[in-house]
Amino acid sequence: MACYRYSWSRPRLRGAWRALSTGATTPGWLDFVFGRRCGGAAGAAGAAGASDADPVAAGLGLVLHHNFITEQEEAALLAHADRLLLGTDYSQAHYDQVIERYREASVTTFDDPDAAAAVRRLRLTGWAATAGAPRRGKTMYPHVQLIDLPPEGRIHPHRDNMKLFGEFTAGLNLLSPAVMRFVPLKAPAAAGVGAGVIDVLLKPRTLYVMHGALRWQYTHEVLDAAGTAEALGKSTAAGPQPPGLERGRRVSVIARDTGAAGFFGGLW
Ligand code: OGA
Ligand code: MN
């Protein structure tokens, strides 16, 4: 199967890691998705930008917002995560686990005002992105999930629980760059959304919302350090991993709405 990369991936990626290494901020919508597209006509659908305004990204159900929270808010969220998680062990790899090497916590309220403000915006952004969707649960899921992955930790391909959870999953990517990979359940043409495997680079403090096709018709996964290096190497013509984008310890903050079951309220 013919696979190719978006022709503009490299210059945009270069710009992105320059921004990372200098600490420069790039306000506004994250300016790129990179990835491979496989197949004929589907692959020729054109470059995908990554903002709500971009028809390809919007059609897929992807919202990306770089620098969505401030460094102060990130620090507050990490402090909360550390209070709950430091000192607990990362789970050992297990063959049937969706997540390999991780520790996690569920949180309903954040006392720190910066952390609370960041989570409130996270939730509202996910909710707003799915305005008008057939929201079966009608409410936000009360828990926010904190997931802590060491460099060798990864989240295997899966879809979020179809009954328990609703129309969106909104995530904040903290501490380390990470690559999120989306793979269509069906062949691209059958899926009708015109894209094959999509790799999305999340930078520290990037928000993503997956909804629509990406929520229902794609699996998602978060690559470990080795997978990240491989994915990023492929996304540049030169091959080696761009500096500053190594996957280190990564913490995510995940918000969702409720699904058909409501909150622990029905069949699931
Ligand atoms: C999950 C998940 C993604 C992330 O917890 O189901 O896919 O960004 N998390 O941590
Ligand atoms: Mn998930």
> Residue 49's pLDDT is what?
33
CB 208 within 8 A of CB 180: yes
Radius of gyration of the chain (CA): 18
Q: Which of 148, 160, 165 to mutate to test the pocket of ligand 1 (most atoms within 8 A of CB)?
A: 160
Give residues with Cβ within 8 angstroms of 11, minimum separation 6: none
> Residue 191's pLDDT is what?
52
- The reply to whether ligand 1 has any atom less than 6 angstroms from the CB of 252 is yes
**pTM, whole model, 2 decimals?**
0.78
Atom of ligand 1 nearest to the CA of 178: 8
Residues of the chain with pLDDT under 50: 1-53, 55, 266-268
Measure the CA angle with vertex 127, ends 263 and 156; round to 5°: 70
229: tokens are 């290096």
138: tokens are 């009608």
pLDDT (tens digit per residue) in 46-95: 223 334 445 456 678 999 999 999 999 999 999 999 999 999 999 986 66
> Residue 51's pLDDT is what?
41
State the Cα–Cα distance between residues 23 and 240, nearest whole angstrom.
22
> Residue 15's pLDDT is what?
32
Cα(235) to ligand 2 centroid in Å equals 24
> For residue 107, what are the CA distances in angstroms to 4, 119, 122?
41, 11, 14
DSSP state of 175: S
